[in-house]
Structure 1
Amino acid sequence: MSLLEKIRDRFRPDRVTLQLDDIQALILRSRPEPYVGIHAMLHVDEAEGGRALLGRLAQHIPSAGTWTEDLEAWTGVAISHAGLKALGVPEASLKTFPLAFQQGMAKRAEQLRDFGENAPQDWEDAYRDDHCHIALTIYAVDKDRLDIAVEKAMGEYRASSGVTLVGTHEFGADAEAKNPFGFRDSISQPTVAGAGVEPQPGQERAIAPGEFILGENSETGAPLSIPQPEALGRNGSFVVLRKYDSRVGAFNDFLRAHAEGEEAQHKLAAKMFGRWRSGAPLPLSPDHDDEALGADPQRSNDFSFKDDAAGLVCPHASHMRRMNPRDSQLTILTDVNIHRIIRRSSTFGPKWTPDVTARDDGDDQRGIFFIFISARAYDTIEFLQQEWVNRGNFIDLAEERDPIVGLHDKPGSFTIPKDPARQRVNGVTTFNRLRGGEYLFMPSLTGLQWIAAGRW
C-alpha cells in the first residue's frame, strides 16, 4: 500500500477544520514514490506581465482539498519579497511581512551561518542579486506526466511578456525515495491538526495548524501575525528553499577511512544520520538495517529517545536527533513543536553507490533541494542553522557541528557515546555545499488571485 493510500485510509472529512480548498496542495500533499519533478525560477521584469502569468499559472495549482486523491502531477508556486515588489504589491502590504523575508536569504547570511564556501557571493546565478522572484515546482508520478505538466506551465510562460526564466533543475528518485547519500528521505513529517487525519504511531499529537497555515491558531493558542490584507496572507505559508551540492564521494571516502569493511561503514553512516539507509531508525534497529521497518510509515517513526538518554544507540550528534530531538534532554531548552517543519525536499543526480570517490564529486552531479514549509519558517531555519546544525552546545558538544549538513571551515569531529569512553571520529568536512536559496511566501489560491488582479 502506498503512502497516499495509507493517508486516504486515515482521512476523515468530518475532522477537517482548515479551509483546504484555499490552501495550495503542495503544503499538505506528500510527493509520490517514485517521483520526478522540476524547479523553475522566474524573474519579473514588468509587473503587469508578471501578474498576468501568475493569474494563468494559478489555474493549474490544485488545492489541498485534493491532498488525499490520486494526482498524476501537481504544481506549487511561491514568491520572494523581491518578487512581490516586482509584481507591484503595495509597500504597505510588503511591510507586514517578517523582516527576514523582507531582507531575503542572501542578506541573512550572518544569521544563517552561510560563510566561507556557503557564502552568497558563490551561489548560482539564479539565486544571486534577487534574481529569483517566482519559484515554480512541479511534482509528477513519472516522466511522461511531468512532461505534460511542464508543457502546460511553459506554454503559459511562452505566452507571457515581462518575465524571464532564470533557471530550471529537474529532480527525481525511485520508489526507495533515497537522498544522494543513499538514505530514505523525508520520513518524519508532522501531522497538521484540522487537516482530517490523526497522528501516526510515534507522533505524540497533531501540531496546531497555525504552525503551518497562516491565520490559524498556533501552538501558543493564537494565530501568528499574517501579511496584510487578509486576502493576501490568510491560508498561505512561508517556504525555505536551499539548494545543496552533495559531496557523496567525499562522504564515502570518509567512511572508508574510519571504518574497516562494508558493514562497519554502513554502521558508521547510520550513526551519523540516525537511521539506516532503508530509513529504519537506530532506536528500533540498533545493530543492523531492516528494510521492511524502514519502508513502513506505521512503524518507522514509532520511537522515542527516552530510553537512550546517553545516546548509546542513537548519538546526540546524529543528523536525525539534532533535527528532531523529540523527548531528548536538551541543555538549551526549546519547544520542539514550534520548530516542526513540513519537508518537501527533492533529490537530483545519480543514485548512490559505494564505489563513488571524491574524484567523482562536482557541481550539480548529485544534490538535494532542502525545502520546508512553516508559518515560522525564517525563525526556525535561523535557529536550526545557529544552534542545531552549526553548534553543539544544546547537547553538551560545544562547537561540534551536524555531521551531514554542517559547514566545516576546518575538519571537525563526530562524537559517538560508548561505555566506558566515548569515541570521537575526526576529519568531518562539509559534505553538503550550499549553492543558493531564497526565502519565499506561498500564497493561498485567493492570495494568488489577489496579486494577479492588481486591484490595490
Structure 2
Amino acid sequence: MAVAPLSLANIQGDILFGLPKQSQSFFLFKIDQPDAFRANLANLVPLITSAQQTKSNITEIKKVKLSQKLRANEGDGEAVHPDIVTVSGVNIAFSAKGLEKMGIVGDLGDFLFKSGMKEGALDLGDNMRQLPDGAIQPDWDDAFLQEIHGVGLITGDSHETLNQKLTSVKDILSNSVQEIATLSGDVRPDDQKGHEHFGYKDGVSEPAVKDVESFKPGQTVVDQGVFLLGRGDDAFQDRPSWALDGSFMALRKLPQLVPEFDKFLLDTAGTQESADLMGARFVGRWKSGAPLMKTPTKDDPELGADANRNNDFKFKANDQSGCPFAAHIRKMNPRGDLGESSITSHMVLRRGIPFGPEVSDEERKSNKTTQERGLMFVCYQSSISSGFSFLQQTWANNPSFPFGTTTEPGFDPLIGQTSGGGVRTMTGAFASNSSQPLNLLAQWVNSRGGEYFFSPSIPALRDVFAKA
C-alpha cells in the first residue's frame, strides 16, 4: 500500500524539531481507568503540538531574536524570554504496558520497546542492586522502578507558562490516571544556554532529516525512516497502519557529578589550562562547541558559535592525535572511522534538557555534589535496538570501538558505563602521548532510570487511541 506524503501537521512536534523551551516537565503516569483515559485523550488531542506548529514557533523565535540582535542559537531548542515570545508545547507518548492497558493491539516490531528499559538495564551498563530476597534490580529512582504507562511532555518559555499548560494536561486526564512523578528541567542561564552541566555546548552534531529541513556544512542528512515508522528506510514493514509517522522515544534521567568531574581533570592534568584541554579531549569539543579536529590546542569561541563551521569535519581513521577514539562525539558519530552508511542507521534525534540547580560555591570548594543535577535525556528513532541501545551498548560501553585501531580506544568517558564495578579506561586523554591509558576513577554520569515510549502520530491519537 502506498504511503501518503509526509505531513508535518500529523507528527508530534518534539520528534523532528524539538519543542522550543526554557523549561520542560515530564509527567509520568499510570492509567487507572482505560476507557475514561481514552475518552479524556479526545479532549487532550487538540492541545498536542504538531511538527508544523513547532517549525512555525522556531521560525518566529529566530526572527524575533535576530530583530532583537540576539544570537539565534542552532540546535538547542531554546525559547526566548516570555516578554518577547510566549510559547508552550504538549506531546504524549506511551510505553508498551500503556498500549496494552488501553487495549491498543498491534506488533510495533521492536522487542526492546515491548520488554521495557528496566528489563534491559543490565545490558545498558546501569548499576544494579541486590534486594533482601536476593533479587537483582536496577539502582534507579523509585519512579522508574514502577510500571509507567505514559509520559506527557510539556514545555514553556517560563515556569509560569509551563505550569499553566501542565495543570491543563493534568486536569484533562485527572480522573483516569495516577501520577507517578513529574520531573522538570530548565535551559541553563545566561552564557550557559545550550550547554549541559559539565559546561559543553550540546546539540551541535544533530543530523538533518531528509526533505524536512535544510542542512549545514558537515551535517549528516538522514533518511526519514531512521526516525519515523513507516517511512523510507524503516526496516520493519509489518507494523500496524496506525504506527505510521510515530517514533520510539528513549527517556533517561542522567545525573552528572560536576564538581567531581572538574576535580579529576585538574588533579590529572595539573593545571587549569591542561584540564581544559583534557576535558575537550574527553568530549571531542571545547566548551564553546569548537571541535578539536579544527582547533586541537585551544578553544575558539567564534568557531564554536558558527553553525556553518563547527560541525564541518571528519575524524582521521586510526589516528587519535587530534581527537581521541573514545571522545564522546567520536563514539556517537564516528565519521571518518566508518563509512556513512554504517553510521546513519544508528543516528537518533536528541531532545533532552538539563535539570537541577547550578553548582554552588560550597560544592565547588568541597569538590562534592550535594544537589542533584544532570540531563533529562530524550531521543527519537524508528528502532531502539539500532538507535539508543546500539549507541550505548555497542559504541559507548565498548572499549574496543572504533574497531581496527592500533591502540584500544576505551570507554566513552562521559556516558560509557560498566555495571560490573570495574575501572573504566581510555586512551587519547593526554595530548602529548595519545597512546597512554588513563584510568577513569569514577563514573560521572550515572543513570537513575528511564523507559521506552511510543510517540504516535496525531491522527493515530485522534482516530485510534482516543475514544469518544
Tell me the distance in 2 between the aligned counterparts of 1:86 and 1:188: 37
2:43–2:172 Cα contact (<8 Å) kept: yes
Q: CA deviation at 1:180?
A: 1.4
User: What letter corresponds to residue 300 of structure 2 in structure 1?
Assistant: D
1:246–1:433 Cα contact (<8 Å) kept: yes
User: What letter corresponds to residue 417 of structure 2 in structure 1?
Assistant: L
1:88–1:454 Cα contact (<8 Å) kept: no
Q: CA deviation at 1:375?
A: 0.6
Unaligned runs of 5+ in 1: 1-15
User: What letter corresponds to residue 112 of structure 2 in structure 1?
Assistant: A
- Secondary structure of 1:153's match? helix
Please say if 1:171 is aligned against 2:188: no
User: What letter corresponds to residue 322 of structure 1 in structure 2?
Assistant: K
Query: Which residue number corresponds to residue 267 of structure 1?
Result: 277
Query: Which residue number corresponds to residue 438 of structure 1?
Result: 451
2:331–2:401 Cα contact (<8 Å) kept: no
Q: CA deviation at 1:288?
A: 1.4
Tell me the distance in 1 between the aligned counterparts of 2:239 and 2:223: 19
**In structure 2, do the counterparts of structure 1 residues 399 and 418 end up closer, same or farther at CA, with 3 Å as the change threshold?**
closer
- Secondary structure of 2:447's match? strand
Please say if 1:75 is aligned against 2:90: yes
Tell me the distance in 1 between the aligned counterparts of 2:330 and 2:434: 21
Q: CA deviation at 1:316?
A: 0.7
Match of 1:338 among 345, 366, 375: 345
Aligned 1:112-123 pairs, distance under 5 A: 112-116=124-128, 120-123=137-140
1:25–1:65 Cα contact (<8 Å) kept: yes
Match of 1:374 among 369, 381, 406: 381
1:38–1:170 Cα contact (<8 Å) kept: yes
**In structure 2, do the counterparts of structure 1 residues 129 and 344 end up closer, same or farther at CA, with 3 Å as the change threshold?**
same
Query: Which residue number corresponds to residue 392 of structure 1?
Result: 399
1:41–1:165 Cα contact (<8 Å) kept: yes
Query: Which residue number corresponds to residue 114 of structure 2?
Result: 102
Q: CA deviation at 1:142?
A: 2.5
- Secondary structure of 1:441's match? strand
Aligned 1:278-357 pairs, distance under 5 A: 278-306=288-316, 309-329=318-338, 335-351=342-358, 356=364
Q: CA deviation at 1:126?
A: 1.8
Unaligned runs of 5+ in 2: 59-86, 131-135
- Secondary structure of 1:370's match? strand
Q: CA deviation at 1:40?
A: 1.0
1:248–1:358 Cα contact (<8 Å) kept: no
1:326–1:336 Cα contact (<8 Å) kept: yes
Please say if 1:49 is aligned against 2:36: yes
Query: Which residue number corresponds to residue 157 of structure 2?
Result: 141
Query: Which residue number corresponds to residue 9 of structure 1?
Result: none
Tell me the distance in 1 between the aligned counterparts of 2:5 and 2:290: 33
For residues 248-281 of structure 1, the C-alpha deviation after alignment (integer angstroms, 9 at most, x for no partner) is 1221121121012221111111100111111111
**In structure 2, do the counterparts of structure 1 residues 277 and 110 end up closer, same or farther at CA, with 3 Å as the change threshold?**
same
- Secondary structure of 2:55's match? coil
Q: Between Structure 1 and Structure 2, how many residues are aligned? A: 422
Question: What is the RMSD computed on CA atoms of the aligned residues?
Answer: 2.6
Query: Which residue number corresponds to residue 68 of structure 2?
Result: none
Q: CA deviation at 1:58?
A: 1.7
Percent identity of the aligned residues? 29
Match of 2:6 among 5, 15, 18: 18
Tell me the distance in 1 between the aligned counterparts of 2:95 and 2:455: 9
User: What letter corresponds to residue 452 of structure 1 in structure 2?
Assistant: F
Q: CA deviation at 1:322?
A: 0.4
TM-score between the two structures when normalised by the length of structure 2: 0.83
TM-score between the two structures when normalised by the length of structure 1: 0.85
1:348–1:368 Cα contact (<8 Å) kept: yes
For residues 62-109 of structure 1, the C-alpha deviation after alignment (integer angstroms, 9 at most, x for no partner) is 21122321261111111000111112223xx1x344221111111123
2:13–2:19 Cα contact (<8 Å) kept: no
